[in-house]
Structure 1
Amino acid sequence: MLALIPACLIKQCQDLTYLAKSLSLDSVGFGYLQTTFGVLQLVGGPIFGRFADQFGTRAALILSCASGSAFFLLMSISTSIPLLFLSRLPAVFMHGLPGAQKVITDLTNPSQRADALGKLGLCFGIGIIIGSALGGVLSTKFSLRVSCFLPLTYINTVLINVSSSVGSSQSGSVFSIREILRLMKFPGVMEVFIVKVFAGLPAGLFLIMFSIISMDFFGLEAVESGYLMSYFGVLQMVVQGLVIGKLTKSCTERTLLRLSVFVFAGVGLGMALMRTVWHYCIIAVPLVFAFSMLGTITDSILTKAVPSSDTGTMLGICASVQPLIRTVGPTIGGLLYKQFGVSSFGYLQLVVNIGLSVYLLKNKIPLREVKRGCKARV
């Protein structure tokens, strides 16, 4: 089920570019369209998580799949720019990954949670490869609107097969901002969340601008960019499926958190010095490792730091990090690229993560779970 979610999202990213072009939407309008999507996902993440805590995971997954169905249906029939903007609205509740993560947190022991969450990333890597391949083939063999309509079939298949309920209903308002902010006051939550947001922010800005950088800086064609995306998918499958699980069994979460930030700093140095696409292919290995490790470990730490009845809301807050970057990314990333070039992303990545490394070394962030096996002590 989880592999279908990123496959559909990657496909819609590919289809959206050509659909917007066919409707004569200029680059500024396309930026507004992407920002609208990011804002809706940013706002909807915590609300979706709160909904999962209140009404159970099954209801939340049904809501996500139904929203996805409406999203792709509207996209497939978009014959005008206003209708294309309207198709973004259901994205507010399209949060299949936090829903699946909620299932994992409910069904696993805290000591096994990081490993289990890492395995979800394996499915995401599979989805990236499937989505990248399908996006090009279907758009070429069939019409663009048929290509947009197919994910609707995928998601409806998932919707039919969601048959087991995990979680129970609770009292309280789904839209309670006070309840959402309350979770940030638990020991260690705010500190870990700050690291989660800022450690990968510069690299996230780079990835948002990558479609432009790949053409201007690396000189890649569309087909070559697709191959590079598939390469990322394979890397993520290997890292999430083989590497993270073994590390979480032998090292403490504090050690792995520090390791991911340290690797991010090294990635920043590499990005600042890279000149060719082959350099980037080498840098992509530690980049994918750092992103995967940071996401898995911080999600595990944060869900353990709050009561089990609030894990859905916390996962929803975590899921809002990427939409936040997508919302502010085009503006900040475009400014950095235009004024200072590609190397600016690397230097910013290096400086930010050196600062975070010092912060993590000097501050003892309280973590609920303790694992032993590495030399570093918690």
Structure 2
Amino acid sequence: MFVLFLVVFIDLVGFGIVIPLLPFFGEHFQASPDVVTLLLATYSITQLISAPILGRLSDRYGRRPVLLLSLLGSIVSYVWLGFAESLMMLFIARAFNGFMAGNIATAFAYITDITTPENRAKGMGVIGAAFGLGFIMGPAIGGILAGSDPANANFQLPALCAAVLSAIAFVIALVKLKESLSDEIREKIAALGPRNHWKSFFETLTRPRLGLLVMLSFGCIFVFAGMETTFAMWTRREFNWGPEQNGYLFAFLGVISAVIQGGLIGRLSKKFGEGKLVVFGTLCLGLGLGLIPFCETTVMLAGATMILAIGFALSTPSLNSLISLEAAETERGAVMGATRSAVTLARVLGPISAGVLFAQMGRDMPYFAGMGIMLVITVIAFAKLGSSRAPKAVEATE
């Protein structure tokens, strides 16, 4: 598990490096706020297409080859991004990066292979901690390399640094990462015969409890992605911040996420159950979003985003744990890939919706709308999951 943690961590540092950079990169090419959020959503659009395909491929050929392929794709895309000389090149580079981004869904499937139902939430928390730590270092590094002046940011250096980090992750995975999918399970999957990737995706969503869990994940990611993609533009207008200041704040959020998902989520899930963590997490996520427009100082903004980060760090690994336990051992890669496609769709629609609200109704509206959505999600989670704990894992289907 440590090797997988290291690979995901290094890769997410590279991903995090470009987070505070992209909104300013888009505005550098005279893009409007709604076009900037569309740029950020492009990554998720192509990831939506590739995730269920790569998930099924990881079931058939193993997790390791898919992880290696996605890391190679990341290297190429970051180099492409660094040398982009037009808005169109920027869009194409992000689209290719998203299409090759199968490492996250595959990493989740890898965790389901090597953990038991009892410690599944803890395993998901380990990957969540890699996310959190990646976002501690990544945005801070990207912000420092790009600079604090939004009008004269260095866009090439952070992108090339991200490419180097993905190359390091690739080498570590190539040398150290072992295949987690046993020959026995792979034979069972092969015996089921070929399956249509998108049919598998829709079958996943039509299973009642699994569909509910995916819907809740969709809602959380929808509002968080809307915040994530408009936040730099909001702080530029409110505080005249550049990439460096935004990088530090995203790093602060990463610290909170890493502490909760890396050290607390396992114990909290055993004590309270994943269902209650989802309820509390979604409530905090909505509250944090609603407080952002009222922040007039950096301290106030740090407090609001801290509440938001706590909510996201509690709800997402808990939902991933519950989802994974609804999947049989022969379909885990497909289910996690389909789930990833659903939440990736949220990363498409969330930024686009937030960008339109930002451009047409003012910079505060995405956060008020996100708060309203999360209140609805919290009520649904309380009604359906409030007293639930993780179920026993689903048996393999014949």
The TM-score with structure 1 as length reference comes to 0.84
Cα pair 2:26 2:36 within 8 Å, conserved: yes
The equivalent position to 1:277 in structure 2, one of 292, 295, 298, is: 298
Return the alpha-carbon distance in structure 2 between the equivalents of residues 13 and 146 of structure 1: 14
Return the alpha-carbon distance in structure 2 between the equivalents of residues 228 and 60 of structure 1: 32
Cα pair 1:15 1:139 within 8 Å, conserved: yes
Question: Residue type matched to 2:245 in 1?
Answer: E
Over aligned residues, Cα RMSD in angstroms?
A: 3.1
Cα pair 2:16 2:138 within 8 Å, conserved: yes
Cα pair 2:41 2:348 within 8 Å, conserved: yes
The equivalent position to 1:65 in structure 2, one of 39, 50, 71, is: 71
Match of 1:313 in 2: 334
CA separation of 1:246/1:195 partners in 2, compared to 1, >3 Å: closer, same or farther? same
Report how far residue 52 of structure 1 moved: 1.3
Cα pair 1:209 1:333 within 8 Å, conserved: yes
1:151-190 matched pairs, under 5 angstroms:
151-162=162-173, 163-167=177-181, 168=183, 169=186, 170-171=189-190, 172-173=193-194, 176-190=197-211
Report how far residue 370 of structure 1 moved: 4.4
1:204-215 matched pairs, under 5 angstroms:
204-215=225-236
Question: Residue type matched to 2:167 in 1?
Answer: N
CA separation of 1:310/1:76 partners in 2, compared to 1, >3 Å: closer, same or farther? same
Report how far residue 341 of structure 1 moved: 3.9
1:227-246 matched pairs, under 5 angstroms:
227-246=248-267
Match of 1:132 in 2: 139
Match of 1:112 in 2: 119
The equivalent position to 1:329 in structure 2, one of 347, 350, 357, is: 350
Report how far residue 224 of structure 1 moved: 2.3
Return the alpha-carbon distance in structure 2 between the equivalents of residues 339 and 70 of structure 1: 36
Match of 2:48 in 1: 42
Gapped regions of structure 1 (runs ≥ 5):
372-378
CA separation of 1:6/1:315 partners in 2, compared to 1, >3 Å: closer, same or farther? same
Cα pair 1:118 1:245 within 8 Å, conserved: yes
Report how far residue 138 of structure 1 moved: 4.3
Return the alpha-carbon distance in structure 1 between the equivalents of residues 168 and 195 of structure 2: 27
Gapped regions of structure 2 (runs ≥ 5):
1-6, 148-153, 393-398
Match of 1:223 in 2: 244
Deviations 1:45-80 (A, max 9, x none): 222212211211111111211211221233344455
Return the alpha-carbon distance in structure 2 between the equivalents of residues 145 and 76 of structure 1: 4
CA separation of 1:319/1:58 partners in 2, compared to 1, >3 Å: closer, same or farther? same
Match of 1:98 in 2: 105
Match of 2:308 in 1: 287
CA separation of 1:72/1:363 partners in 2, compared to 1, >3 Å: closer, same or farther? closer
CA separation of 1:175/1:91 partners in 2, compared to 1, >3 Å: closer, same or farther? farther
Cα pair 1:2 1:124 within 8 Å, conserved: yes
The TM-score with structure 2 as length reference comes to 0.81
CA separation of 1:301/1:330 partners in 2, compared to 1, >3 Å: closer, same or farther? closer
Deviations 1:187-225 (A, max 9, x none): 411111111112453343233211111111344344322
